[in-house]
Structure 1
């Protein structure tokens, strides 16, 4: 099942880069950007994470949370976040259960986990879905969607 605009962000729990349990219900009350990406420390994913980092204050000024999710381990996320000074939450979806819950498709003929960004309002209703393997386009599209709210 693939989430669509107008759907509510499903409830889920995952460990963050510090090993703490993150609950999606904590996003209620503020706009949120949840982006799924293929892998820590790859060229495209690093560029995407650093672009979110560089514009993080813009998202924060609009009251929005930014959450990155991949199937990398907690320790991989911890190193990735530290190395690139990422100020937002990275979640470890090692089982790919949450990726499946959202219905994130695979890219490159099923060889690479997909890269999809979801923007939800403060009630958790999805207002924008951006599915593209082009990493940098996700940030500008997410920011535009948040500004429209």
Structure 2
């Protein structure tokens, strides 16, 4: 690859990471693969984390609600904003017995630096080969797409978000959590 095509690809990746794939290709959620089916068991996973505990599995959250969110890249503007909003609202998630878990293709070291830089108090998981992102229909070749999922205490997928606006997403997720928890699904 020559320097010009490398730079062109890098600019495209940065733009997608910052603004989301759906801003460049309507209906792009389908490009990430098949989304898991609502009201069915969520795809299981075990991935390395930056928290020092080694790995995190979906099974670790049995009995709790989980917001599993996929994002393209640590330290990009949209991903940073989305993470900050989740952190800003973390007490509201805790009141709802809900854990936040972020996933991207970045390394554990990158996640650790990102958490330190942004003061994030929730785990970020390193899906470096995209296997879990693929299982959730959220993989775009070299990075995770901006998708989020709500998983109930029994491990059942209850909500999917594919058209994510990083600025308002945390509030949108909280609203849906309230609806689901009130409905006692």
Report the TM-score, using the length of structure 2 for normalisation: 0.74
Aligned to 2:130: 96
Q: Which runs of 5+ in 1 are unaligned?
A: none
Q: Does 1:18 align with 2:51?
A: yes
Tell me the distance in 2 between the aligned counterparts of 1:122 and 1:92: 23
SS in 2 for 1:3: coil
- Higher RCO (CA < 8 A, seq sep 6+): 1
Higher strand share: 1
Runs of 4+ in 1 over 4 A off after TM superposition: none
Once structures 1 and 2 are overlaid, which stretch shifts more, 10-19 or 56-65? 10-19
Distance 1:75 1:119, change over 3 A: same
Higher helix share: 2
Tell me the distance in 1 between the aligned counterparts of 2:138 and 2:101: 15
Distance 1:76 1:134, change over 3 A: same
SS in 2 for 1:134: coil
Report the TM-score, using the length of structure 1 for normalisation: 0.91
Q: Does 1:4 align with 2:37?
A: yes
Tell me the distance in 2 between the aligned counterparts of 1:140 and 1:60: 14
Among residues 124, 137, 147, which one is paired with 2:168 in the alignment? 137
